[in-house]
Structure 1
């Protein structure tokens, strides 16, 4: 196993990071409770996460939702959609709710953050994240309105690089802001990000963070977010990616974690499991329906 020292994010390190943040008090307490329950279980991932929102409402929709069955969280059923669970943004949101070594960090107000291709840094920094290509396709639907597509909503999305590091926060990449971006939904409620497959770091399964806003204008302040959540990937896909060059550290980390022991997805992940197509040579496409109480 490769050791990244300060670059490697363990669950314990994430807990320490959270204690130093200026994030919303309620969110921090939820994170600590979730993280404390998972301390004996080490594995892979990113920022820490909270329990699934089991109060999701359900609405009828013509097209069946594609989900992975689980036993402990609210799930979609054929002909319905549900509100995606609320989760913590973790220690590395970059949305103005906490600080890095240089002070409060907020990419939402920076020129160039509204973009589809998030592999490169922007607004000055020039770093580019390498890795297996990943296209992320999300569709935002209104659970309170018969699962209708929500046009003009915005999503801020971020995740770690193939080494498990988060731009703006992790040692060596604090001056970079890659793998972060904002997109608005089209008339079908859809949006697309071009990225790379995230690595697996110690303590979490591979995952992607995102926040939902009612508009691009609203997406300049984290105070306006209406949903914070995360999604993950099928284990077989992760293993195929981590067998490629550049992801060697993820192999051992992935072997020590599972969806059942992850401190976010252990209570259910059916609404947060992306559907993935493709291969490690040509790249992957991950799709997910994001239900919100529009």
Structure 2
């Protein structure tokens, strides 16, 4: 209603359902000014609390739903200016004071901390040579042998110096504490062992040999590196590598002292690249075709996340060898 309309309503009568006012414009103007002042004070009080809550509340107060129009934008600008708070909206970024929140296409971009998966404990199998079983009628414990602490584990070192033939693989393991934001665990000992390209284990089915076994101590990054060969696939098992983790080198004297005994699963794609084409892996072709991760008696009951963590990432080729890496998560 215009001011001229208000001025013409000289005979208007007051009813309780309406706000009180006089009969003339001169009477109404003070009341109108008082109401406008009250509304302004309410708006400023609301904006003060909204500014403290952040830009999301300011925008929520501009209008409902997901729509917007130039009128509501102009109102927001005027109200914010009255409150002394600066707000700008551009390219999906809202800033109020020193607080900034950015989004793209309605999604929020966040930075998350690194994560690691605790590996499940698995059997050491029948060929650990860690003092927990026998070989040829006597206890076999290579952990107490001089020379077991080594990075290149391709050669025997006890009674022969035979080097295990096969596709070279350099494997880096990172030991991480799942109870402390995956912090690296240094000073731990990791014992690694696996079969040769014929599917035999040293000290057992290859009793004269001591190759493809070794111990390394994790550095300040929680890492150890072994130079070895890609293991065969023998009947009934998915291609794998065994390992045991010990609190320290001094405790790495028997498998009974380990804080984790588990296995790594070889990537299917690399198995398919090695077995049919690399020299000496002929028997692995049929064995690999007859097994799957889901039917393997060790990996078959693990979750997808555990399998992913137990499978090293690998790059390379049969001709130049492979580089592999895996993170061993353990709660300490």
| 1:128 and 2:176 matched | no
Equivalent-residue separation in structure 1 for 2:316 and 2:285 (angstroms): 20
Per-residue CA distance 1:70-112 (angstroms, 9 max, x = gap): xxxxxxx984222111000000000000001141000000000
Whichever of the two has the greater Rg, that structure is 2
SS at match of 2:310: coil
Q: Does the CA contact (< 8 Å) of 2:159 and 2:208 recur in 1? A: no
Q: Residues 152 and 215 of structure 1 are in contact (CA less than 8 Å); yes or no, is this contact kept in structure 2?
A: yes
The answer on 1:163 being equivalent to 2:201 is no
- 1:223 is displaced (CA, Å) by 2.3
Separation in 2, partners of 1:167, 1:239: 25
The equivalent position to 2:174 in structure 1, one of 139, 146, 152, is 139
Say whether 1:285 aligns with 2:323. yes
Among residues 98, 105, 120, which one is paired with 1:85 in the alignment?
A: 120
How many angstroms apart in 1 are the aligned matches of 2:124 and 2:227? 21
Q: Segments of 4+ in structure 1 off by > 6 A?
A: none
1:242 aligns with 2:242: no
Which segments of 5 or more consecutive residues in structure 2 lack a partner in the other structure?
Answer: 1-111
Give 1 or 2: higher helix fraction: 2
Equivalent residue, structure 1, for 2:146? 111
The equivalent residue for 1:263 is: 297
Give the structure, 1 or 2, with the largest relative contact order (CA under 8 Å, sep 6 or more).
Answer: 1
Give the whole-Å Cα distance in 1 for the aligned partners of 2:171 and 2:233: 18
Query: How many residue pairs were aligned?
Result: 216
Residues of 2 paired with 1:198 and 1:222: CA distance?
22
In structure 1, C-alpha distance between the alignment counterparts of 2:301 and 2:314, rounded to whole Å: 22
Q: How far did residue 245 of structure 1 move?
A: 1.3
Match of 2:60 in 1: none
Structure 1 residue aligned with 2:226: 193
Matching residue of 2:207:
174
1:153 equivalenced with 2:183 (yes/no): no
Residue range with higher mean Cα deviation, 284-293 or 155-164: 284-293
Could you say what the CA RMSD is over the residues aligned between the two structures, in angstroms? 1.3
Specify the alignment match of 2:84 in structure 1: none
Residue 125 of structure 1 deviates from its aligned partner by 2.1
- 2:194·2:231 contact (CA, 8 Å) conserved in 1? yes
How far apart are the structure 2 equivalents of 1:78 and 1:146? 8
Q: 2:133 aligns with which of 98, 115, 132?
A: 98
- Are 1:231 and 2:264 matched, yes or no? yes
Calculate the TM-score normalised by the size of structure 2.
0.63
CA contact (8 A) 1:200 1:250 kept: yes
In 2, the alpha carbon distance for the partners of 1:218 and 1:271 equals: 26
Q: Secondary structure at the match of 1:285?
A: strand
- The TM-score normalised by the length of structure 1 is 0.71
